[in-house]
Structure formats: C-alpha cells, structure tokens
Amino acid sequence: MTQKHTDIDTAATRLDRTDPEGAIAVAARRNRNWGRWGTDDVRGTMNFLTDERRAAAAALVRRGASFSLSQSFDMDGPQKGWRRRTNPVHTMLDTGTDAAAGIQGFPHGLGGADDVVSMPLQCSTQWDGLGHIFDHGMAWNGRPAQNVVTSSGDQITGIETIADVVAGRGVLLDVGRHLSGDGELPDGFAITTEHLRSTIEAQGLTSAVGAGDLVLVRTGQLSRVRRDGWGDYAGGAAPGLSFTTADWLHDTEIAAIATDTWGFEVRPNEFDVAFQPLHQVAIPNIGLFLGEMWDLDALAVDCAEDRVYEFFLTASPIPVTGAVGAPVNPIAVK
C-alpha cells in the first residue's frame, strides 16, 4: 500500500515557476501508483471503486431526482480546431422527406430515419483515459508509451477497460459557489488543496471525500461562457485545479475527478513554460481518470437547495475499443 502524505510538507506545495521539470518529477515520485494493483493493471484508481462501495452508493438515491451532466454534442460546441479537434458533425442518412417521397424501398408504407455523427472523442463531455498522457515516454503502470498506444489505438488501457465500473458515490465540490459571490471563479484562478478542504467544510458532511469516490469540481466557468459565448473555453484561460493538489488527488484515493472546464487544471498553467503538468502526474503516474467539460450547473443548484452534495453517479464512457478518451453522458441521481 502506498503511504499517504498525512503531513504534507508545505515546501513541497510551493512552486518554482521556472522549474516545471523538477516539480513534475518530485510530484510524480511522491504519488506514483505503479505496481499498486499488480504489473498487469489497466484500471488505475478505478480499482478503488469496489462492488461494496458501489452498492453503498446506490443507497444514496432518496428522491429519484436525476441530472444529466453532459454538454451538448453538436456543431454549436466550443471546439476551434486545436490539435484537430472539431465539433460534432451530424449527418442524416435517411429522412422523413425520403420516406414521404417513397424512395426508401420499404414495403407496406414503412418509412424511417437514420443518421451518423463524426467527431473527435474528446470534443465535449468526456473522460481522459489512461493512455491519453505520458510522462517522459512512460504510460500508466510504467509501460513504454510506444507499447501502449499505436496507430491502432490503445492496445492495453483503452477506455473500454472501465466501461462496466464507473458507477458509484458522486460528490460535488462547488468551489465556485463557495469562493465567489457570483458562483464563478475568474479565469486563471488556481484551486488549491486548502480551497477544496474549505469547500468540503462549508458544504458539510455529505461532501466529505473518501476512497472510491467520483469527485466533481464546479468552477462556474461553464455558467459564464453559456451566458457570454464560448470565447476561448476550448483551450484558453480557465480556473482549475492547482498543480499543488497532486498529493490530495493521490491521498484521498478517489476513483476519478471531473470539472466543468476544458482542461481540468488551471490555465494558464502555474509555470513560466508548461503545458498541463498536473495531467502529467495524475494520469500516467497516479493512474487517475480525469473528466472535462461536464455540465454541473443544474446539479449544483439542487445541492445548494437541499444541502446534500452526495449522490449516485453513473458515468460509463462509450466503450470505443482502444480509445484514449471517450464521450460520456453522466447521470447523477439523488
């Protein structure tokens, strides 16, 4: 069992903005879970979400109120082509017009419609899989990246490996509502471990975070862009988790964490020259699944009204074989 950092050295949480390499290396060593579940493991922190914890989470359903936490999948989404990511293109293959014209070739008056969608798998609400990010050429559990993800996809930790397990206790940490009068953190705001802890304390016992939980962090950025327009939501500045939360992400033994932002961590990142350094620690080293672009607003309103921040959450990705990330329609039930 990996030792928890119960007494985190405050010096370890200070950042030298000029040394991302050093900070990433230290955080990776401190929080690395390689071998924790055996050399053949493909599920990383999803191992914390056991059958027993899933059964206990089902008992959280009291009212039956359900909330979809997914954004739309359509051409009006936020993508602008970064890394060739585009918004979904929805094309009809058969339509009511075809049926009315009698050109579909079906007997006895039968008509129908059919369609197809073309899209990057991470263009809207989605999970990052364990093959999505590498650390110095190494993938989750210490495997060489070239042995994991090839031109045929993720041969070992494809997103389909967790298709049957992502259901359990969800916990909303509405950091935006806790720290900001309008419920929206400003772009570039770094959410620290202390911010997470103070949010939990303010929200009460139902937001206590423990092993196997699926944690949702609301920043309020999606509320703002929904009102003001997408702008640079896809790839631009955003509130998000600080690099210094790496120890917390490891020590809480959560199964996964998701936010309402494009990139999960604060942007711009907290170093002079860096790109998504917390991803580099969390995915290949901790083995942690990250969710991005989740719509937490309606759920947050309900949680604020009844002061219950825990719920049953099912969030299975579409099991695209060999994918390093996949769309999801998460459903929270209270």
Query: Mind listing the pLDDT tens digit for each residue in 233-256?
Result: 999 999 999 999 999 999 999 999
pTM confidence score: 0.95
**Cα–Cα distance measured from residue 314 to residue 128, given in angstroms and rounded to the nearest whole number:** 16
Report the Cα 119 to chain-centroid distance in Å.
Answer: 18
Kindly give, in sequence order, each residue whose CB lies less than 8 Å from that of residue 150, ignoring residues fewer than 6 positions away.
none
Residue whose tokens read 């369609």: 115
- Digit-coded pLDDT (tens) for 74-107: 999 999 998 899 999 999 999 999 999 999 999 9
* CA 225-302-293 angle, 5° bins: 35
Flag whether pLDDT at 304 surpasses 90. Answer: yes
Average pLDDT, integer, range 27-36: 98
Q: Which domains does the chain have, with CATH numbers?
A: 15-81+120-333 (3.50.30.50), 90-118 (no CATH)
Q: Give me the helix-helix angle, 297-306 and 221-228, nearest 10°.
A: 130
Share of the chain above pLDDT 70, in %: 96
Please work out, in degrees rounded to the nearest 5, the angle formed at the alpha carbon of residue 318 by the alpha carbons of 227 and 310: 60
User: What is the per-residue pLDDT for 13?
Assistant: 52
Comparing 4-18, 20-34, 181-195, the range with the smallest average pLDDT is 4-18
